[in-house]
Structure 1
């Protein structure tokens, strides 16, 4: 597939996970060496996800590099597998609550996706290079409603916003209701997070 095809798939994955498609595309590129890695070819594994024994042998892929140990997860479809991995790992639940691309990238790194201490900086570099090639967020991307299909994801988002409302960091309860009723968009969540961050830093908005 061409890069633009992966970009379209990143948009689909973004709707499922709440991650910016620009961040997803950059991660896929880094983890696969621009979609050329043996892991992607042999395991349909697009982001270096590691197999764990509880997953069963059917998902056990090829061995990871000797320095890292373990095995990759083997998927039928790389994008479906990627989305499923994110949804099932609550350690990454805070990523979608970040209001910027860089914020999401740093949250991914902080949650331990990779051991490389320069992981975030490498992703940001790819992200910025992609922007010069036209792979940027468009208004229609941001206006799309988040497409979480797990009840706990929407509840966790709603509970988080409810907590911020009770602390006075969100002044209108309608945003909490939009989360609980599964009607919140990328742009709305990004705006809320920006306002909350400002208020947490003593800025009156």
Structure 2
């Protein structure tokens, strides 16, 4: 039997990946929601977020497959068990999460998208009516705290910071290579073109330029353009 840790280890990489790709759902919230909705057990239809069929509109991640299962809901303030429901079935867990992200693009979930903290997002999920349980947000927050799930939110930040550092390092390296590639002495064959360009007011006398820079000016000069 898979443990709670095994469940988290399976869901977390997907949650982090989607967040890095632009999902507005905090990984901690996504993992906690999957734990709460399933009790830490992957169902055969790969729907771990309790997403019902709803309007039945086909999406890039849901092709209309469904599973009927009983669940429980709060109706008129009271918990009612064995409530029948039709749930979306997916080929993969990732498809389920991506389909959920499409759902969260609706106006109803604007507060979910705008939440700046995991706790704000769990409360927004409850306020938006994602679940009928009046303790939905507090249950999610309890799971996040108990399992230390904000680690995955912080991991996203670390990965983005590392990526930014790599980009800056590469940019600096490219600039260095470009400077090394620049010629520090004007080639003799390009001098006439440089003089003509300076006389025409097109450029100032350069201290250095790339080979291509000198070559283009020379071609333009020989064609009588400068």
Shorter-normalised TM range: 0.5 to 0.7
Contact 1:46–1:79 under 8 Å retained in 2: no
State the alpha-carbon separation in 2 of the partners of residues 115 and 84 from structure 1: 20
TM-superposed CA distance for 1:67, in Å, is 3.5
Change in CA separation of 1:41 and 1:132 when aligned onto 2, cut-off 3 Å: closer
Change in CA separation of 1:117 and 1:111 when aligned onto 2, cut-off 3 Å: same
Deviations 1:101-145 (A, max 9, x none): 100110011111111111111000000012189555233256599
The one of 101, 104, 109 aligned to 2:118 = 101
2:155 aligned with 1:140: no
TM-score normalised to structure 2 length: 0.54
Unaligned runs of 5+ in 2: 72-80, 164-226
Aligned length: 141
Greater share of strand:
2
- Structure of higher CA gyration radius: 2
Alignment RMSD, CA only? 2.8
Structure 1 counterpart of 2:69: 63
Greater share of helix:
1
Higher relative contact order (CA 8 A, sep 6+): 1
Name which of structure 1's ranges 45-54 and 60-69 shifts more when overlaid on structure 2: 60-69
Name which of structure 1's ranges 89-98 and 48-57 shifts more when overlaid on structure 2: 48-57
The one of 22, 31, 38 aligned to 2:28 = 22
TM-score normalised to structure 1 length: 0.59
